[in-house]
Chain A
Amino acid sequence: MTEAAISTRPQARRWREFFELLGSMRFAISLLVIICVASVVGTVLPQNQPLNNYIDQFGPFWAEFFDTLSLFNVYNAWWFLVIMAFLVLSTGICLIRNAPGMIRDSRSFREHIREGSWRSFPHRAETSFTTTAETAAQRVAKWLERSGFRVRTVPKDDSVLVAAKAGAGNRWGYIFAHAAIVIICLGGLVDSDLLIRMQIWFGGKQPVFENMLVSEVPPSGRLSVNNPSFRASALIPEGGQTSNAVVLVGEGALVQALPFTLRLEEFSVDYYSTGMPSDFASKVEITDHDTGETFTRTIRVNEPLSYKGVTVYQASFDDGGSTVTALGYSLDGALTEPFSISGIVGDTVPIPGADGETAAALTFTALRPINVENLSEAGAPAPRKLGEHVAAVTGSAARDRSQEFTNVGPSLEYRLVDAAGQAVEFHNYMLPVMLDDFPVYLLGVRPSPAEPFRYMRIPADRDNSLNEFLLLRNALQDDALRAEAARRFAMRNMMHSAREAGPGGFGAAALERGKAIEASARRALDVFAAGGLQGITQFLEGNVPDDELQRAAEVIIRLLTGAMTDLRALAREEAGLAPLSNDPIEWQRDDTWLRLSLAALSDLALYPAPVFFMLSNFEHVEASVFQLDRSPGKGAVYLGCLLLVLGVFAMFYIRERRIWVWLRMGDEGRGRALMAMTSTRRTFDFNREFERLKRQFEQLFGSGDVQSPAQDKGHANNLER
């Protein structure tokens, strides 16, 4: 023996041990558990978000740490792929080691089993027969065949062995199920982004990180039309077309050439009667690059289009460059007339300030022609008896909720970035919305996209417009008008008191009181103009003792409301509008209008911009977002799935059983029959079946000591049944 041979032996053994370990059950179970745990991590941590989000959430150290472990992209992490590779390897080794033996075994009847080993079977039975061994064997064979077994009769020297088996499919189940795992994993691997990454590592491809036009992307950023596996997306506006799609790789992108041109003719959204979307459909025209052939098709959610190995799915939709015209309403009193501004959704336009320089940049972020909102206000539920509660949920499940959902018309979202770089987002509805039975314009504000919009309500005037509210606002900012309103209010009040007091009531004291009222009203208006209702509260808290606060607040609100009524009339005069009519219904409406206006004016003090924009006109252009896939592994995965299902059902529901019956002639023409049964799984059902077969077996030749032919015949009949 040479030294080399000696040294390779332990190594070979180590290899063998390693393979043993890979194919072992405990290794496989450990892998399953590890995959479970890793998968849990991937569902709990949000995946594939920009690193900054994670830094906000976990702090810089942990974000970096998790990132190093690829915890933000678990399912594509190298270590996850390694674990999966081990699973495939482990299953594969297990299969290679066991399958040949299983196939051989499932074909064999194991006729070599000796009669002598009968006693070692836990499930065994015996009986006797009076015919020849061959005849008895025939009867046994027939009985077993009828019981669903495949039978082989083997004559031995002085005896006959009937060997039977059933449920060989169980072993095939094992093979199918385990082969399926390997096939599915390999198919999945082909469809993952591995092939794209290989092209980046070894094919010189370079993802593009900056924004650029598709035509500007260099060849290193383009994937061939023959690329076998990709998952790309494409945004196409109505009337637009593309022959390229974008494959995202990490934070960069590659351009994937398509074998056809995809043109979007029309994108449409259908709605249910309740106003919720029921269908998204894109009518597309496909032009084949090779043949020049053209055809149209409609792609829907759940109805993709497959052409030349590429499947096109309706993924989502977006704005395709709608034109928007908005009216800007200045809030700083500089402009009384609204100014018009237009642009395309996604564009940024500068807003000139009073001094002619750019005061802010306006970006139209979204146009929504249809807004279905739930306008029902959840009030406090009325107390009900138990019976009524139950009655409320019985009957049909079709309680109509549709009235609560209303299409409130178009809305515009925009972002304003001021000179200091501070960005605020706005969401304004074009038309007034009925809230609490009064039409109001909704103006939404949020400081960051992470927060929900908070809406200010501006009541619509008698013409259903914003004009009168804006007049009132401008009047409130005007010193002279405020003074005049306070004077008129005091005057009105004095006249009223004088009428109440009768003749001679208009004395010096009354005049004095009138002056006081005028001063108070003036102050209420001034404080309100400067700080809104919040300002009034602060004023009261600073000037009135606590115990009189309540009463003082009531007084000042009455003063304010009264003075505002006069301010409104003044504003109308200034604008050359006719005085308000005295129709009582209109008056009631005006009361509500004024109350809501007070609240809105007060909120306006906190409005984060000196201007707001209302949608005045738009031309909506939709864009469809498609996902385009080529997944060559799909066939393999589906085949694997089929095998898996077949395998799992075969493993659980086909029980492999074997039966041996040895028949040997003894003395006095009586033969002895020994039966043994076994199964790979000795379950309850197996026990049960054995008991049944044992009973049948024992009665097969009559009940042991058969005396008369008549009895024998009886048993035979019994069998026929």
Chain B
Amino acid sequence: MQITSNDEVWIDSDIEPIRRRFDWTDLAFLLALVIGAAYAMMRADAVMDVYDRAILIGAVPTLAWLAWLWRPLRRLMIALACTAGLALLLYGGNLARADEAFLLRYLLSSQSAIMWMCALFVLATLSYWIGLIARSDTALWLGTALSWGAILAGFTGLLVRWHESHLLGPDIGYIPVSNLYEVIILFALVTALFYLYYEQRYHTRSLGGFVLLIVTAAIGFLLWYTFAREAYQIMPLVPALKSWWMKLHVPANFIGYGTFSLAAMVAFAYLVKSHGNTRSWKKLIPLFVLGVLLVAEPMVFRTEGLSAYWMMYFGVGALLTGGILAARRPLAERLPSLEVLDDIMYKAIAVGFAFFTVATILGALWAAEAWGAYWQWDPKETWALIVWLNYAAWLHMRLVKGLRGAIGAYWALIGLLITGFAFLGVNMFLSGLHSYGEL
């Protein structure tokens, strides 16, 4: 793979995933998935209803298809099977082993793995930025490698957490996508994974620093949530959440949130690049203000004053935003062409919109079953609609009116503000049926 900001490089690449053959390795992988699913089916038979089983069976072709579409996923899944499988073996059905077995204690137990994920994501972000500033391909490569490491650690953490929740009590186990703590991990993982996809697809690593900024912000939130609020502990589900719908609704939602965030960070890079030769600070003010607003967003919802941690978070965030804008000229040279940035932005929003549509519909179906109405203008539902309408308008403008350039990018950034409110703000600010994560 070649790192470049050259506009024409993509033309020479002949990546055409649609026409790729299905070879014997894919078949072997599919078989492995079938065996894995069968094993899971036998092991967890008691806690699954018919829908859970259907989801498990449906997951096999879906994962095989995804792995075929993008090969690195296959390697990730195999590695995950190894790490999570090893953790399962080490636990041997006994939670106390988490403090006894060395590998569990320091690497594979859910919290250890998640802490590793946090560390690796932060290091990956640093590597990407060092690579971008020092024009070091090695550092950029390291950024990619560390991101993959973080993703492996994060997914391992979630899978093992799933197992731990079942070890906690036969009636407690649930897929770890039920509260704010768990979904923030999911958010970081999904965002990074989509970024890596585009990184490979467009042969550019120069966006890593930008996209991983939001992942790092999520990690910052996660760490605060872990240390200050001890939110990492597994709590049993409230009855309304005990449903197989959660397995579909939440991940689909976070594909949406993740890609919208990705699009916004690419939009930020777009605006930095398009302002590469701007001398007047005045023109940068809107961008700076938006950046600072985005940094401030998770703090706005704090109700009982701001701790030093959040002050520091805000300070660092604002400084970084200012720093990036100050270094716009050299950064602009290293970023891919505006067309590439624009295309990634569009692609990410399109994926996000499609999955957000699915997620909202799944949510409505679930609501119809749990609360007796598929739509009742609950704040979360309403904000999901607002997010959806916002991106629907963006896509209309782009596809029909041919909206390109700075306005689309600003809009994508504002879209992240709205998405951020729908994700974080509604849970903390507005009461409603969705208040699962409180601060």
Name A residues whose Cβ lies closer than 8 Å to a Cβ of B. 25, 28-29, 32-33, 35-36, 39-40, 42-44, 46-47, 74-75, 148, 188, 231, 272-274, 276-280, 300-304, 311, 313, 315, 389-390, 393-399, 401, 627, 629, 631, 634, 637-638, 641, 644-645, 648-649, 651-653, 681, 683-684, 687-689, 691-692
Is B39 interfacial (CB 8 A cutoff)?
Answer: no
Q: Nearest Cβ in chain B — how far from A317, in angstroms?
A: 11
Q: Does B424 contact A (CB under 8 A)?
A: no
Closest A residue to B393 using CB positions? A32
Known A-B contacts A42-B377, A684-B10, A692-B14; A398 and B227 likewise in contact (beta carbons under 8 Å): no
CA distance A129 to B358 in the complex (A): 49
A231-B372, A272-B171, A645-B357 are known contacts. Are A301 and B393 too (CB-CB below 8 A)?
A: no
**B373/A231 in contact, CB under 8 A:** yes
Do residues B105 and A395 form an inter-chain contact, with CB atoms below 8 A?
Answer: yes
Q: B303-332: which residues lie under 8 A (CB-CB) from chain A?
A: none
CB distance from A721 to the nearest CB of B (A): 12
Q: List 21 contacting pairs A-B, 8 Å CB cutoff, sorted by A.
A: A25-B397, A33-B393, A43-B383, A43-B430, A273-B171, A278-B236, A313-B370, A313-B372, A395-B104, A395-B109, A396-B167, A397-B232, A398-B98, A398-B168, A652-B350, A652-B353, A652-B354, A681-B399, A683-B343, A684-B339, A688-B10
B window 328-386: CB within 8 A of A: 339-340, 343, 346, 350-351, 353-354, 357-358, 361, 364-365, 368-375, 377, 379, 382-383, 385-386
Which residues does chain B contribute within 8 Å of A394, judged by CB atoms? 105-106, 109, 111-112, 115
Q: Are B115 and A280 in contact (CB under 8 A)?
A: no
Residues from chain A with a CB closer than 8 A to the CB of B353 are 648, 652
For A301, A397, A648, A692, the residue with the greatest tally of chain B CB atoms inside 10 Å of its CB is A397
A651 to B351, CA, bound (A): 11
Give CA–CA (A684, B341) in the complex, Å. Answer: 11
Inter-chain contact A691/B11, CB cutoff 8 Å: yes
Neighbouring A residues of B373 by C-beta, 8 Å: 231, 629, 631
Most buried by B among A39, A279, A634: A39
Tell me if A399 and B233 are in contact (CB < 8 A): yes
Kindly provide the distance from the CB of B309 to the nearest chain A CB, expressed in whole angstroms: 13
Q: Is A644 within 8 A of B239, CB to CB?
A: no
Which of B18, B98, B368, B426 contacts A43, CB < 8 Å? B426
Contacts of B237 in A (CB 8 A): 278
Q: Are B169 and A395 neighbours in the complex by a CB distance under 8 Å? A: no
Tell me the bound Cα distance from A20 to B272 in angstroms: 39
Shortest CB-to-CB span from A652 to chain B, Å, is 4
How far apart sit A648 and B399, CA to CA, in the bound complex (Å)? 13
Q: Is the CB of B234 within 8 A of A398?
A: yes
Nearest B residue to A391, CB-CB: B105
CA distance A280 to B240 in the complex (A): 9
- Which A residue sits closest to B398, measured CB to CB? A681
Q: Which of B415-439 contact A (CB under 8 A)?
A: 426, 430-431
Cβ-defined contact, B397 with A395, below 8 A: no
Complex Cα distance A395/B102, Å? Answer: 10
Interfacial chain B residues near A36, Cβ < 8 Å: 386, 389-390
- Taking CB atoms, residues of chain B closer than 8 Å to A39 are 377, 382-383, 385-386
Residue in B357, B370, B385 whose beta carbon sits within 8 Å of that of A302 in the complex: B370
Decide if B357 touches A301 in the complex (CB within 8 Å): no
The distance from the CB of B180 to the nearest CB of chain A, in whole angstroms, is: 14
When chains A and B are docked, how far (Å) is the Cα of A394 from the Cα of B365? 37
Pair A688/B11 contact, Cβ less than 8 Å:
yes
Q: Interface 1/0s, chain B 103-123, versus A by CB < 8 A? A: 011100111100100000000
Which residues of B have CB within 8 Å of A393?
111, 115, 226-227, 230, 232
A301-B370, A394-B112, A396-B110 known; A649+B354 contact, CB < 8 A: yes
B16 within 8 A of A: yes
Partner of B98, one of A300, A395, A653: A395
CB distance B339 to A301 under 8 Å?
Answer: no
Residues of the B chain whose Cβ atoms lie less than 8 Å from the Cβ of A300: 239
A398 lies within 8 A of B167 (CB):
yes
Task: Say yes or no for B45: interface residue by CB 8 A criterion.
Answer: no
Residue of A nearest to B351 (CB): A652
**For the complex, is B243 an interface residue (Cβ under 8 Å from A)?**
yes
Residues of chain B with a CB closer than 8 A to A398's CB: 95, 98, 164-165, 167-168, 233-234
Contact flag A644-B357 (CB < 8 Å), given A25-B396, A188-B375 = yes
Taking a contact as CB atoms closer than 8 A, the residue among A272, A280, A389, A689 that contacts B236 in the complex is: A272
The 9 A-B pairs at the shortest CB distance, nearest first, are namely: A396-B98, A313-B372, A684-B343, A43-B379, A627-B372, A394-B112, A272-B236, A301-B239, A652-B350
Docked-complex contact A397 and B396, CB < 8 angstroms? no
Which residues does chain B contribute within 8 Å of A390, judged by CB atoms? Answer: 115
12 extra interface residue pairs, beta carbon distance < 8 Å, beyond A313-B371, A395-B105, A638-B365? A32-B392, A36-B389, A39-B385, A42-B377, A273-B171, A278-B171, A301-B240, A396-B98, A398-B168, A641-B364, A652-B353, A684-B340
B239 lies within 8 A of A277 (CB) = yes
A657 to B110, alpha carbons, bound, how many Å? 48
A25, B400: Cβ atoms closer than 8 Å = yes
Bound complex: CA A441 to CA B171 (Å): 33
* Complex: A366 Cα to B340 Cα, angstroms: 64
B109 contacts A396, CB within 8 Å?
yes
Pairwise interchain contact B361-A634, C-beta atoms closer than 8 A: no
Q: Which of B227-259 touch A at CB < 8 Å?
A: 227, 230, 232-240, 242-243
Rounded to whole angstroms, the CA-CA distance of A44 and B383 in the bound complex is: 11
* Shortest beta-carbon distance from A630 to chain B in Å: 11
Q: Given that A36-B386, A394-B115 are contacting pairs, would A645 and B377 also be in contact in the complex, using a CB cutoff of 8 Å? A: no
Q: Report the separation of the CA atoms of residues A311 and B350 in the bound assembly, to the nearest whole angstrom.
A: 36
What's the Cα separation between A399 and B96 when bound, in Å?
A: 10
Q: Counting CB contacts under 8 A, is B205 at the interface?
A: no
Does residue B273 face the partner (Cβ distance < 8 Å to A)? no
Closest B residue to A146 by CB, please name it. B19
Measured between beta carbons, the chain A residues less than 8 angstroms from B365 are: 638, 641
A374 CA / B313 CA spacing, docked (Å): 32
Task: Tell me the bound Cα distance from A225 to B230 in angstroms.
Answer: 52
Question: How far apart are the CA atoms of A80 and B353 in the complex, in Å?
Answer: 25
Complex: A276 Cα to B172 Cα, angstroms: 11
- List residues 2-31 of chain B with CB under 8 A from any CB of chain A: 10-11, 13-14, 16, 18
Q: How far is the CA of A171 from the CA of B19 in the complex (A)?
A: 23
- B227 surroundings in chain A (CB, below 8 A): 389, 393
Chain B hits for A231, CB < 8 A: 372-373
Taking a contact as CB atoms under 8 Å apart, the answer to whether A47 and B377 are in contact is yes
Given contacts A39-B382, A648-B357, A652-B350, contact A396 B111 (CB under 8 A): yes
Shortest C-beta distance, A204 to chain B (Å), equals 27
Taking CB atoms, residues of chain A closer than 8 Å to B386 are 36, 39-40
Q: Are B361 and A641 in contact (CB under 8 A)?
A: yes
With a CB–CB cut-off of 8 A, which chain B residues contact A148?
A: 18
The reply to whether B430 and A32 form a contact with Cβ atoms under 8 Å apart is: no
What residues on A are CB-neighbors of B340 within 8 Å? Answer: 684
The CA-CA distance from A274 to B234 in the complex, in Å, is 11
Whether B401 sits at the interface, judged by CB under 8 Å, is yes
Chain B residues, CB < 8 A from A653: 354
List the A side residues contacting B354 at CB < 8 Å.
645, 648-649, 652-653
- Which of B365, B379, B385, B431 has the largest number of chain A CB atoms within 10 A? B379
